Amino acid sequence: MNDGYNFKWRRLNGDKLDGSIVDRVSETLLAEKNKGHRIKVCIGTDSLQRSSVIDFATVIVFLRENRGGFMFISNEKVDQKMSLKERMVSEVARSVDIAYRLCDLLDRFGVELEVHADINTDPEYKSHIALKEAMGYIRSMGFVFKAKPDAFASSSCADKCI
């Protein structure tokens, strides 16, 4: 799927993940299954706008039931100005793109998938402006939707990787 996003994946320690992300996730799920771990995957994106440059971080978080977790990270810089709502929807689009690429694989392994949006459910916060669009987009693709405060993949994990 060629969508214009420049996903280059790495581990938290900086080790690059070469090749297809689908192949890397498949290898990871097989290894975790062989260790007897039950896995859940959460995908999220966060961004930070600095002048006309937006830094995006997308994460695939692998949660081991009762045994912690780990993640794959992709960072991208985009030289473009966006409104807050456009940026929030762009974050969701990146997450949905990765979820779509992985959903068949995750189904084969019986792995639960959630897509997390760094959008607040409280109308007092600015990001709330994109809540309806984000929720509709993610749910219309058939994915489980999580927003703040339950969207740790985007609001905590991806946030730390920008």
For 76-85, what is each residue's pLDDT tens digit?
A: 999 998 999 9
DSSP 133-159: HHHHHHHHTTPEEEEETS-HIIIIIIH
What pLDDT is stored for residue 123 in this prediction? Answer: 87
Q: Closest Cα partner for 96 from 136, 39, 155?
A: 136
For 37-71, what is each residue's pLDDT tens digit?
A: 999 999 999 999 998 899 999 999 999 999 999 99
How far, CA to CA in Å, does 122 sit from each of 109, 126, 127, 137? 35, 9, 9, 19
CB 127 within 8 A of CB 118: yes
For 145-159, what is each residue's pLDDT tens digit?
A: 999 999 999 999 999
Q: Closest Cα partner for 143 from 50, 17, 44?
A: 44
Q: Where are the domains positioned within the chain?
A: 9-160
